[in-house]
Structure 1
Amino acid sequence: MKIKNKILLVVNPISGGLNKRTMLVTVKAEIKKRGLQLELYETTGKKDKKKIKRMIEDFQPDHILVVGGDGTIQLVAEVLDGHKISVGILPAGSANGLAVNLKLPPKLQDQLKIALGDNILEMDVLKINGRTCLHIADLGINAELIKNYEHASIRGKLGYFLKSIPTLFHSNFPFNFEIEIDHMTVYKKGILLAIANANKFGTGANVNPTGKMNDGKFEILVFKKLNFIKIFKTLSENAKLGSDFVEIISTTQAKIRCTTPVAFQIDGEYVGEVCEVEAQISPNKLLIAVPSPIE
């Protein structure tokens, strides 16, 4: 394991609507206590990728700490595409979907131990319509919910719940999906089609219980109907989802077409309405610090 001497700290100061000042005092103190070199970069939304690339070239960090949500982690992952620099996460976004999937603890001190630790997962990265996806993208009712949630005054899981009712009433589900895999085309109908590298949504719903983030594959999940009892069961860690509720296809690449434009999201960020999606596993991995070794 490469010794971590130089740490680049990438901070999104506005993610999750949280004030990062107290958090950064704790993070800097821990890095100083360990005798590590530190460089800080705060995102602005303007040329962040180019600026972080320049900092990596100049500072040559051994490890990057990310304070922010899934969008900030995506940004760093795109910069590191092809680099062998490990990443630690200090979740500070709205839903923190990747942190949920990696089972990061809630307390900052515990997160720091993991983020600066030596348990590194070589995680798969998806490329979907040219964009980076780290845990789950989807077409359909969940993407519609995320679109509506972006305008909500109440954040967190309560905000999702309050927006779910009007979303259900106004959605045009079921949707028709054409899925092309390995020169074979299948036609499916459902309320939601997910492209999953991980197990869970940021809300904790365990929609892909058997999926692994480092097996070189992803899963296409077609949820066939709106069944509230089975949706509730996805909140269980050991969720068992029958084929009458969801159909699962494991693959390394796929093209998905819709007969009409359908709402689309990647890692909790609403992208827009699309008629076609192309997804494949990237040849490059993301080296990410995790609580314990993952097989």
Structure 2
Amino acid sequence: MNSENYILLVVNPISGDCNKSTIIASVKEEAKNRNYNFKLYETSGKKDKEAINSLIKEINPSRIVVAGGDGTISLVAQCVLGTDICLGIIPAGSANGIAVNFNLPETLLEQIEIALSDCTIKLDAVTINGRICLHIADLGLNAELINNYENSGIRGKLGYFLQSIPTLLHSESPFQFKVETEEETFEETGILLAIANGNKFGTGANINPHGKMDDGKFEILIFKNLDFIEIFKTINDQQKMSPDFVRIISTNKAKINSKRKVPFQIDGEFLGKIDEVTASIGKEKILMAVPDSFCKLQLQK
């Protein structure tokens, strides 16, 4: 079957708080206008990776469009890693950190246009404890917040906001970390350790302003304290942060240990408490459709 004739739309029906039926109808209509065949898969939380891999083998799509949050995007990315299948995204989750990094527009039709466009980059995939990370993983305060959010009954950004104060009040931080890379080994105390391939959290806070998603490296950022002036800088996209606030290391391989188990998340999915992390970047990449402005921004860094 001719792969150029198929678009596979993968939808997470329960992510975020937006209307998925509108997304499905709009992508289906645009596929028809472009003379593509259209196939829909809705995730169920049970053997989704196996089902998506089976569909890829069956229809061999030239493009997969994902409508969901960061977790759904990462799930599909695992299925296309190292292939020439292009991945396009429609942000439909709670925080949408990957979409925020790409500066995707707010309107659905513009998002679909970009998801089906020829402007693409080959993204690094960071393997963290055997799982793929496209965006940001972290240990500490933010992972605690995600866990509290997942256990609450309110979705969307409001849910994150409502959980932020109790998370701060009851946080187990600070944490003691030991970081080993090929370049150096050191120990540091902090409230959060991030492993960042991307630049921004879903809130828009730019914690890794000099990071590139296609340079074969990731950044380790250890935030030492709750300095609200420095936090304000990240929210306002300021490029320079004080070394008293954050320590930054750029590398392609690292081992991280903590003296006690720390809350841990990858791309918005809480994965429990751990005391050891290994992270590395492999040679295989992910072909991703992005706005033209993002491609130009990456070239400027």
What TM-score, normalized to structure 2?
0.94
Once the two structures are superposed, what CA deviation does each residue of 1:103-144 show, in whole Å capped at 9, x if it has no partner?
110100000110000000101111100011110000111111
CA contact (8 A) 2:6 2:38 kept: yes
Matched, 1:171 2:167: no
Deviation string 1:227-254 (CA, Å, 9 cap, x unpaired) is 1121122111234211111110000010
Aligned to 1:246: 246
Of the structure 1 ranges 53-62 and 150-159, higher mean CA displacement relative to structure 2 is found in 150-159
Gapped regions of structure 2 (runs ≥ 5) = none
Identity across the alignment (%): 58
CA distance in 2, matches of 1:13, 1:204: 24
1:69 deviation in Å?
1.1
SS in 2 for 1:199: coil
- The structure carrying a bigger helix percent of its residues is 2
Relative to 1, partners in 2 of residues 1:205 and 1:87: Cα closer, same or farther, differing over 3 Å?
same
Kindly state the Cα deviation for residue 19 of structure 1 after the two structures are TM-superposed. 3.2
Q: Which amino acid aligns with 2:162?
A: L
For residue 52 of structure 2, what is the amino acid of its counterpart? I
Q: Which residue of 2 aligns with 1:6?
A: 6
Distance 1:138 1:66 in 2: 24
Q: Per-residue CA shift, 1:74-118, capped at 9, x if unaligned?
A: 111111122211111011111111000011101000001100000
Q: In 2 relative to 1, CA 16–158 (structure 1 residues): closer, same or farther, beyond 3 Å?
A: closer
Match for residue 204 of structure 1? 204
Q: What is the distance in 2 between the residues matched to 1:70 and 1:63?
A: 18
How far 1:18 sits from its partner (Å)?
3.3
Question: Is 2:116 the partner of 1:116?
Answer: yes
Distance in 1, matches of 2:22 and 2:172, equals: 45
Q: Does 1:273 align with 2:273?
A: yes
Question: Taking structure 1 as the reference length, what is the TM-score of the superposition?
Answer: 0.95
* TM-aligned CA deviation for residue 36 of structure 1: 1.1
Give the corresponding residue for 1:156: 156
Supply the AA of the counterpart residue of 1:139: L
- 1:260 matched to 2:264: no
1:218 and 2:221 are equivalent in the alignment: no
Residue 214 of structure 1, CA deviation = 0.6
SS in 2 for 1:50: helix
- TM-superposed CA distance for 1:183, in Å, is 6.8
1:24 & 1:39 partners in 2: Cα distance?
Answer: 10
1:10–1:135 Cα change, 3 Å? same
> What per-residue deviation string (whole Å, max 9, x for no partner) do you get for residues 142-201 of structure 1?
111111111223333332222121111211221100001117421011111000001000
Change (3 A) 1:237 1:184: closer
Number of equivalent positions? 293
3-state DSSP of counterpart to 2:16: helix
Structure 1, 273-282 or 144-153: larger mean CA deviation:
144-153
Name the structure 1 match of 2:139: 139
Q: Is this contact kept in 1: 2:177–2:187, CA < 8 A?
A: yes
Counterpart for residue 80 of structure 2: 80
Give the aligned residue type for 1:259: K
**1:204, 1:158 → 2: CA distance?**
15
Distance 1:29 1:131 in 2: 34
| Kept in 1: contact 2:17–2:156 (CA 8 A) | no
Say if 1:151 and 1:139 are closer, same or farther in 2 by CA, change over 3 A: same
Q: 1:36 corresponds to which letter in structure 2?
A: Y
Secondary structure class of the residue paired with 1:16: coil
Is contact 2:12-2:68 (8 Å) kept? yes
Greater CA deviation, 284-293 or 235-244? 235-244
Give the alignment's Cα RMSD to 1 decimal.
1.4
Report matched runs for 1:41-120 at 5 Å.
Answer: 41-120=41-120
**Matched residue, 2:20:** 20
- Mapped to 1, the partners of 2:235 and 2:127 lie a distance apart of 27
Match of 2:188 in 1: 188
Instruction: Work out the CA distance in 2 between the residues paired with 1:210 and 1:159.
Output: 30
- How far is the alpha carbon of 1:4 from its aligned partner? 4.6
The answer to whether the 8 A contact 2:17-2:155 is kept is no
Unaligned runs of 5+ in 1: none
CA contact (8 A) 2:94 2:157 kept: no
CA distance in structure 1 between the aligned counterparts of 2:202 and 2:258, rounded to whole angstroms: 25
